[in-house]
């Protein structure tokens, strides 16, 4: 876990005030017509919020629970000329950059407010805490490492990579090679054990598509998984289609996955989707020498090639 991962609620409060001021200014000056952020939901958890007036900008929040991936909501605003404001932290900016690099939203229509990140907590885990412990975590910054979002544990980009204005100071970054301990464990299993392991993984799935919908790398307007003609994926929740779904979902984002872990976090039945995403990411580093495969590049690893790529034919 990066050393910089020390929750700083005071800093976040300051950032929240600055964010409200900034958003109100953008809206009143007419720089943007809508600002994407979070507001407090009925259960105390932040929910995505679209502020359209300076008055509404006062409802924006910035606290250790703002885990939602806002970038994906931009796709609802694809048509039109309006300029959209959005707030991002480190991983939020990777998600945004993913959409930009995939040419899914015009940069000129965006005003990005970046906030350097000191870590976020897993909303589900925080909600489950007794009142006192919850307060200590949220207001006192006393949070066990296990309370953080999984992605904070491997984050090497806490400072926004895309921003028009940055609120607050840069936080220290530690870029080392990404680690994939769980994938390594699975690789050590026998093929039969692995097959059995993944069978239980995808048997749990109820195919609600939440993992696809939340993913910033899954942004096609028409998804082949929804098509009837041709029927790439049968609609029945039978083993063959469960396997096919997970096979496709992970492979189609290979090289573009930002390792945000949102797919796994939003899954209501606890399918460990990162076991598949991480495997592909690890192999992309090993096979093609891409050191930070989760950081959007101008050309994604599978959108390019070199003459020197390993050749499978030689291996038979």
Partner 1 sequence: MATSQEPVIVGFLCNWCSYAGADSAGTGRMVQPTNVRIIRVPCSGRVNPRFILRAFQRGADGVLVSGCHPNDCHYSTGNFFARRRLLLLKRYLEYLGIEPARFETHWVSASEGQKWAEVVRSMAERVKALGPSPKLPSLL
Residues that bind partner 1 (CB under 8 A): 186-187, 191-199, 232, 234, 238-244, 247-248, 250-251, 254, 279-280, 283-284, 287-288, 301-305, 307, 309-313, 316
> Does 233 sit near ligand SF4 (CB under 6 A)?
no
Q: Cβ-count burial of 233 within 10 angstroms (0-12 exposed, 13-18 middle, 19+ buried)?
A: buried
- Three-class SS of residue 165? strand
Q: How far is the CB of 217 from partner 1 (least distance, A)?
A: 15
> Does 17 sit near ligand SF4 (CB under 6 A)?
no
Binding segment for ligand SF4 (CB under 6 A), chosen from 15-23, 119-127, 138-146, 253-261, is: 253-261
> Does 46 sit near ligand SF4 (CB under 6 A)?
no
> Does 262 sit near ligand SF4 (CB under 6 A)?
yes
Of 211, 206, 272, 271, the C-alpha closest to 242 is 206
Q: How far apart are CA 187 and CA 192, in angstroms?
A: 12
Rg of the chain in Å (alpha carbons) = 20
> Does 236 sit near ligand SF4 (CB under 6 A)?
no
> Does 207 sit near ligand SF4 (CB under 6 A)?
yes
Contact (CB, 8 A) for 212 and 249: yes
Contact (CB, 8 A) for 150 and 261: yes
Q: How far apart are CA 72 and CA 276, in angstroms?
A: 22
Q: How far is the CB of 127 from partner 1 (least distance, A)?
A: 34
8-state DSSP, 148: B
> Does 269 sit near ligand SF4 (CB under 6 A)?
yes
User: Residue 140 binds which entry of ligand SF4, partner 1, none, with Cβ cut-offs from 5 to 8 Å by kind?
Assistant: none
* Residues 196/198/200/203 CA torsion (nearest 10 deg): -130
Find the binder of ligand SF4 among 26, 67, 117, 258 (CB under 6 A).
258
- Helix H or strand E segment including 286: helix 274-288
Quickly tell me which residue has 């939440």 as its tokens: 210
Find the binder of ligand SF4 among 267, 279, 280, 296 (CB under 6 A).
267
Find the binder of ligand SF4 among 206, 236, 238, 287 (CB under 6 A).
206
> Does 73 sit near ligand SF4 (CB under 6 A)?
no
Peptide bond before 230: cis, by omega within 30 degrees of 0? yes
User: Residue 51 binds which entry of ligand SF4, partner 1, none, with Cβ cut-offs from 5 to 8 Å by kind?
Assistant: none
Token pair recorded at residue 310: 């390993």
> Does 210 sit near ligand SF4 (CB under 6 A)?
yes
User: Residue 263 binds which entry of partner 1, ligand SF4, none, with Cβ cut-offs from 5 to 8 Å by kind?
Assistant: ligand SF4
Contact (CB, 8 A) for 121 and 7: yes
- Residues in contact with ligand SF4 by the rule CB under 6 A: 205-211, 214-217, 253, 257-263, 266-267, 269, 271, 273, 277
């Amino acid at each position: 876990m990066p050393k910089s991962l020390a929750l700083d609620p005071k800093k976040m409060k300051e950032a929240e005030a600055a964010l409200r001021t900034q958003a109100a200014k953008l809206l009143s000056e007419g720089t943007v017509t809508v600002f994407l952020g979070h507001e407090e939901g009925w259960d105390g958890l932040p929910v995505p919020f679209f502020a359209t007036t300076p008055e509404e900008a006062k409802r924006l929040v910035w606290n250790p629970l703002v885990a939602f991936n806002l970038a994906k909501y931009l796709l609802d605003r694809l048509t039109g000329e309006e300029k959209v404001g959005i707030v991002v932290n480190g991983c939020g900016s990777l998600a945004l950059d993913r959409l930009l690099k995939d040419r899914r939203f015009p940069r000129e229509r965006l005003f990005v407010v970046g906030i350097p990140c000191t870590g976020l907590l897993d909303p589900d885990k925080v909600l489950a805490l007794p009142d006192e412990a919850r307060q200590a975590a949220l207001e006192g910054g006393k949070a066990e490492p296990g309370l953080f979002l999984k992605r904070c544990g491997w984050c090497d980009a806490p400072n926004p990579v895309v921003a028009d204005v940055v609120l607050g100071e840069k936080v220290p970054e530690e870029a080392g090679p990404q680690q994939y301990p769980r994938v390594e464990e699975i690789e050590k299993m026998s093929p039969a054990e692995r097959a059995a392991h993944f069978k239980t993984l995808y048997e749990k799935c109820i195919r609600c598509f939440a993992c696809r919908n939340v993913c910033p790398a899954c942004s096609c307007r028409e998804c082949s998984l929804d098509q009837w003609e041709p029927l790439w994926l049968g609609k029945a929740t039978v083993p063959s289609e469960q396997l096919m779904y997970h096979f496709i979902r992970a492979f189609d984002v290979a090289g573009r996955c930002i390792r945000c872990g949102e797919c796994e976090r939003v899954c209501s039945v606890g399918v460990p989707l990162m076991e598949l995403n991480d495997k592909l990411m690890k192999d992309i580093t090993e096979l093609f020498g891409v050191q930070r495969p989760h950081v959007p590049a101008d050309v994604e690893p599978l959108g390019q090639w070199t003459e020197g790529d390993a050749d499978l034919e030689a291996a038979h």
